[in-house]
Structure 1
Amino acid sequence: MSDGPSRSLRTLLARLRLDVSPLRESRDFRLLLGSSMISMFGSVLTMVAVPYQMKQLTGSYVAVGLVSLAEFVPMVVCGLWGGAIADALDRRKIVIWAEAGLCVTSLLLVANAVLLPRAAQIPVLYVVAALAAGLSSLRQPSEQAIINRVLKLDQMGAAFAIQSLARNAGMIVGPAVGGVVVVALGPAVSYGVDVVTFVLSLVLLVRVRPVPLIREDGTASLRSLVEGVRYAVRRPDLMGTYLVDIAAMVFAFSNALYPFLADELRAPAALGVLYAAGGVGSVIASLTSGWTSHIHRHGRAVIVAAALWGAGVVLASIMPNIWLMAAFLALAGGADMISGVFRGTIWNQTIPDEYRGRLAGIELLSYSTGPMLGDARAGLLAQAGGARFSLGVGGLLCMGAVAAMAAALPRFRTYDARTDEHALAERARREAAAAS
């Protein structure tokens, strides 16, 4: 009698357990993941240090929010171009050279914090933030396109969950350490740690095996870029993943408010707790993400998760202390991670490899432009009504926007991986390639 409940519990735990087969079976995935984890730790320290330094220099909500706005244009341009070159040139070399360039930008931030007078540091922060955003946007489509080549099709969802786990573990450790380091030792030390992590990351990247070119002409033209955009526009299921995520992030992403919220809650030393909260929720969601492989209506899952993200932000805005606020930000972060798993599954299981780089560039825009514009939006709303007002109103707007997108995009809302023509075609192509 007791064996039945025990067996059911074991089955439930097995369904929840994170699938680690991509790590077990792919050396290059392990190298790419290790590189990403190391460099991300330093980058998160810089993410904490730049708004902290700008707040020290200006004391302005708008000045802090405009750091993200400065990153927007180079991120858009380089994200699209990075996708085009990922489908035309050596993806491995693109990743390595972009990583080296990012290392140089962190060196510039060190020099800026140490050598220049206070007034001169402000414009340099904007310029270097823009340069780093451009280089990162060039890198990411090639990295994602490599991962798509070194893994099996049915491992894509698990790979996204593993990447999210690594990324969000960094978002826990990095901000927690970064908040302490930047307050105790200053921004220059944070930027210096970032330089070291980029060097270590490069050591791993050079060991990744080259990936054969998809196109032999070696050219990335405006025409090829337009072809990629047209392919995305022709597919409402893809457009839904992009538009829902952009809307959710523009209205509810508010990291620029955290230094001010920590001061309002009389806990400036616990700034890292707010930065880390979303990562905590995402890690928990990643570790229990095994159930996502049993869900096939991915569009509907993205919509529900994005709405929960907004709800978590609304609840966080009315909490009376930093720990309760962090708890609801963690809930929001977990919902956002689940949304990302399903979005990534749609992308990686349905997009042909010849478009993978260009579409990865568009994906980068969808999940990067939103947070940048969200920080700018958060700063402007906070200037009008305060940090809590900006946080709460943003969450409500997010929920409304997601509901509107769901109503406007029925093909996305009803997407089912078992019957979608693009998912079936890509699976058949992979099976034929494996057989030959």
Structure 2
Amino acid sequence: MVKRHLVDTRPLGVPAYRRIWVGQAVSHVGVGVTVVAVGQQVWELTHSSFWVGLLGMANLIPLIVFGLWGGAVADAVDRRKLLIIGSLIAWAATLFILVQALLDLRNIYLIFAAVALNSTGFAITGPTRGAIIPRIMEPELVPAANALNSLVYSIGAVAGPMVGAVALTKGGFAAAYTVDALLFAGSLYAALRLPSLPPLGEVRRPGARAVVEGLSFIVRSPVLMMSFVVDIIAMVFAMPRALYPELAAERFGGSMLALGWMNSAMAMGAVAGALFSGWVGRVSRQGVALSIVIAVWGLAVAAAGLAHDLWLVVLFMAVGGMADVISSVWRQSILQLYAPDEMRGRLQGAFMVVVAGGPRLGDLRAGATATAFGLTGAWVGGGIACAVTVLAVGLSVTGFRNFRAKKTR
């Protein structure tokens, strides 16, 4: 009985997927280290949550431009080659931010440039990797593969910030960025070991017309469109990440350990949610379910913003992380199984822009509202607004509310 609720590990029996999964497990720890370090470095240089929030814009612009373009390219070229190119760009960005720390340049604009370059690499690899998954395994295993992806990302997001907190305490920013640069090798190795993955079906030249075709497909599909909308609501309204350095300074004496725990909290919940995700593929009313779990996320964030004990902040953010990972599995599976292969890259590009861009807009929203209304108002108000809005919007669209997915088992 318990086994039915545990994460489905069958996709790991596919060698190509297993290498991708292991590579991401290693490299994503380094990503978590850099997320903590770069936010803290900007905070120390500016002492402003608004500037920390602006990191979201440095991420967002390349995500929009290169995410949509990268998705179109992924439909027209060998996806293995494109994944390698994007990985090398991201690695170069990590080395760039490491060099500025080693030289102690203390230039916030160089940090923003490094973040933008890293986001460019991610904007290429994200949709490409997502479009690869349905090519290397059977359709019935796709939801399970997405749950495993969420699990490995979440494990990295738990371990990364904690490792980052230790690295910052013991060796400073250069030590933290060095960890990321070394661990990135795991992701690059997985890309190099992939088989050739040339495009299938009708090939469109990767330009503006191809991008528009992908976006038009989403607009004409109410279920896909609403799966994007509810995620934007969740991340833009409720993501409190840009407020972590300020909260650590105001309530926990500027403790790097507290900062590490806060950055890891969501991922801790996501690990638990992914480990016990065996039931997720058996839910058919996924439109209603998505709206409910996103409302849970918003309420959990609001509760965390009211807490004055670190363990309560971590607990409530972990509950939010559980809801978020369940939401992500459903949204990714809907997209991958709904789209024809010749459009998967473009749709994955749009999906990645929403999934990765939403939190960046959320960073900007959090930083700006904290400046206007204070830390608690920005944090708690955003969570409550998310819960109310997602239920009002998600349940008002008939096609989305009545959407039923085919069971995978």
Q: Distance in 1 between matches of 2:195 and 2:387?
A: 43
Q: What displacement does 1:318 show?
A: 1.0
Contact 1:89 / 1:219 at 8 angstroms: preserved in 2? no
Spell out the pairing of 1:208-227 with structure 2 (5 A cutoff): 208-214=194-200, 219-227=205-213
In the other structure, the counterpart of 1:17 is 6
- Flag the 1:296–1:102 CA change in 2: closer, same or farther, 3 A: same
Tell me the alpha carbon deviations over residues 66-119 of structure 1, each in whole angstroms, 9 at most, x when there is no partner: 11112211111111001100000111111111111111111111111122532x
Q: CA deviation digits over 1:333-354, x for unaligned, max 9? A: 0001111111122112221111
Which residue number corresponds to residue 340 of structure 1?
328
* Residue number among 267, 275, 282 corresponding to 2:270 in the alignment: 282
| Aligned residue identity for 2:151 | L
Work out whether residues 262 and 322 of structure 1, in 8 Å CA contact, stay in contact via their aligned partners in 2: no
Match of 2:318 in 1: 330
Give 5+ residue unaligned stretches, structure 1: 1-10, 424-436
Alignment of 1:390-409 (within 5 A): 390-409=378-397
Contact 2:252–2:258 at 8 Å: present in 1 too? no
Instruction: Report the count of equivalent residues.
Output: 406
CA gap 1:418/1:172 in 2 versus in 1, 3 angstroms: closer
C-alpha distance in structure 2 between counterparts of 1:83 and 1:352, whole Å = 14
Q: Which runs of 5+ in 2 are unaligned?
A: none
Determine if the alignment matches structure 1 residue 101 to structure 2 residue 52: no
- Structure 2 CA distance for partners of 1:16 and 1:216, relative to 1, 3 Å: closer
Answer yes or no: is the 8 Å Cα contact 2:89–2:120 preserved in 1.
no
Matched, 1:122 2:108: yes
| Alpha-carbon contact 1:153-1:348 (below 8 Å) kept | no
Contact 2:70-2:123 within 8 A present in 1 as well:
yes
Counterpart residue type for residue 256 of structure 1: A
Alignment check: 8 A CA contact 1:299 1:415 kept: yes
> What is the 5 A alignment of 1:344-423?
344-418=332-406
**1:165 matched residue in structure 2:** 151
1:73 counterpart = 2:61: yes
Question: TM-score if structure 2 supplies the norm length?
Answer: 0.96
- Answering whether residue 15 of structure 2 is matched by residue 27 of structure 1, we say yes
Q: Which of the residues 39, 48, 51 maps onto 2:27?
A: 39
Output the TM-score relative to the length of structure 1. Answer: 0.90
> Who is 1:254 aligned against?
240
Q: Secondary structure at the match of 1:384?
A: helix
Q: Matched residues in 2 for 1:391 and 1:228: separation? A: 35
Offset of residue 39 of structure 1: 1.7
Q: Please say if 1:147 is aligned against 2:129.
A: no
Q: Deviations over 1:14-33 (max 9, x none)?
A: 32121111012x11101111
State the Cα deviation string for residues 102-154 of structure 1 (Å, max 9, x = none).
11111111111122532xx2110111111111110111111111111111111
* Equivalent residues of 1:261, 1:388 under 8 A apart: no
Percent of pairs identical after alignment?
37
Q: Where does structure 1 differ by over 6 angstroms across 4 or more consecutive aligned residues?
A: none
One-letter identity of the residue aligned with 1:59: H
- RMSD of aligned Cα (Å): 1.6
Structure 1 residue 388 displacement after superposition: 2.1
Question: Partners of 2:334 and 2:83 in 1: how far apart?
Answer: 24
Aligned CA distance change for structure 1 residues 217 and 307 (closer, same or farther; 3 Å): closer
One-letter amino acid matched to 2:133:
I
CA contact (8 A) 2:75 2:203 kept: no
Q: For the Cα contact (< 8 Å) 1:88–1:215, is it kept in 2? A: no
Q: Which has the higher contact order (CA 8 A, sep 6+)?
A: 2
Establish whether residue 207 from structure 1 lines up as the match of residue 193 from structure 2.
yes
Contact 1:38 1:197 (C-alpha < 8 Å) held by counterparts:
yes
Does structure 2 conserve the Cα–Cα contact (< 8 Å) formed by 1:87 and 1:215?
Answer: no
Shift in Å at residue 270 of structure 1? Answer: 2.0
Q: Mark the CA change 1:323 to 1:42 in structure 2 (over 3 Å): closer, same or farther.
A: same
Which structure has the larger Rg over C-alpha atoms?
A: 1
Measured in 1, the distance between the counterparts of 2:190 and 2:390 equals: 39
Query: Could you tell me how far apart the structure 1 residues matched to 2:327 and 2:185 are?
Result: 32
